[in-house]
Amino acid sequence: MLRCVVTGGAGFLGSHLCERLLTQGHEVLCVDDFSTGDRRNIAHLEHSPRFHVMDHDVTQAYFAPADRLYNLACPASPIHYQRDPIKTVVTNVEGTLNGLRLAKRTGARFLQASTSEVYGDPTVHPQPESYTGNVNPIGPRACYDEGKRCAETLCFDFHRQAGVQIRVARIFNTYGPRMAVEDGRVVSNFIVQALRGEDLTVYGTGSQTRSFCFVDDLVGGLMSLMEHPTHTGPINLGNPGEFTVLELAEKCIRLTGAKVNVVRRPMPADDPKQRRPDIDRARAVLGFEPRIALDVGLDRTVGYFRRELGL
């Protein structure tokens, strides 16, 4: 049994991770300030004597005995992370720093939930880990992108300078049950809009692409990386299937059976035009292979949102 700390454990990805770690018999401490997470995401875990919750903002120092620290605390939806961009930078930098200090004190292995956003609006496609990215350091997404890039820097400096065992996962767009109804990301927006009988808001022409990974596949990849004996990463985790936003809208309309159309909205600044992970490294090092096809994952997510909306 490992003592696992999961920061951001009450969020979308974090709650699934806590659940899987508990299922494997580990002890789990969820550290979360509930800013974008929801206590309901972890309510079903709270009966377990091996599950603990610390209501805490990771930008303030904290301590817990630990063998593993998964650092997920950070708003992930553009709407959320742009609401208080200074706090987003501080969460990425101070929050990661506090986690790494805890790892140094306890000897815990530290996994950073990094992101495909470190590649910015990529000029290399698909994106391999060797690509150093095309990020606008002063745009509205920079608080998140540059914050996550600095967090990676901190990880590697703690590794080289202080011998902390690090694992850096670059997570590509992930979706599934427990995304918040008001999350603002494309999959939850489209499904919720369709289920409410509203037209789907497509930003720009809808020709921009993303690769969507179902949460169960992603969480498996995070845990495999954490338990790899030596590999620090960075390592891309995601599903390499690539779809335009318009194709996603059509799928959501078809799977919900909604009688709705798409409406155009302005393209947000610095919105990446294309994104697809090169997962050769994850395949080779971790045996990582996403199994859930987009239609199957979307169907499960539609079921979740139907229940959430009381339909």
Name which of residues 204 to 223 contact ligand UDP (CB under 6 A). Answer: 208, 210
Interaction partner, residue 171 (ligand UDP, ligand NAD, none; CB < 5-8 Å by kind): ligand NAD
238 binding partner (options ligand NAD, ligand UDP, none; Cβ < 5 to 8 Å by kind) = none
Cβ 86 to ligand NAD shortest distance, Å: 12
Task: Please give the residues from 251 up to 290 whose contact with ligand UDP meets the rule CB under 6 A.
Answer: 268, 271
Interaction partner, residue 239 (ligand UDP, ligand NAD, none; CB < 5-8 Å by kind) = none
Between 164 and 186, whose beta carbon lies closer to ligand NAD?
186
Give Rg (Cα) of the chain: 19
111 burial class (0-12, 13-18, 19+ CB within 10 angstroms)?
Answer: buried
Residues that bind ligand NAD (CB under 6 A): 7-8, 10-14, 32-37, 57-59, 72-76, 80, 91, 95, 113, 115, 171, 173-174
Residue 13's binding partner out of ligand NAD, ligand UDP, none, with CB under 5 to 8 Å set by partner kind: ligand NAD
Size of the site for ligand UDP (CB under 6 A): 13
Task: List the catalytic residue out of 62, 81, 144, 175.
Answer: 144
**Residue number, 96 or 211, with CB nearest to ligand UDP:** 211
Verify whether residue 144 is a known catalytic residue: yes
> Shortest distance, CB of residue 286 to ligand UDP, whole angstroms?
23
- Residues involved in catalysis: 144
Point out which residues bind ligand UDP (CB under 6 A): 78, 173, 185-186, 189, 201-203, 208, 210, 245, 268, 271
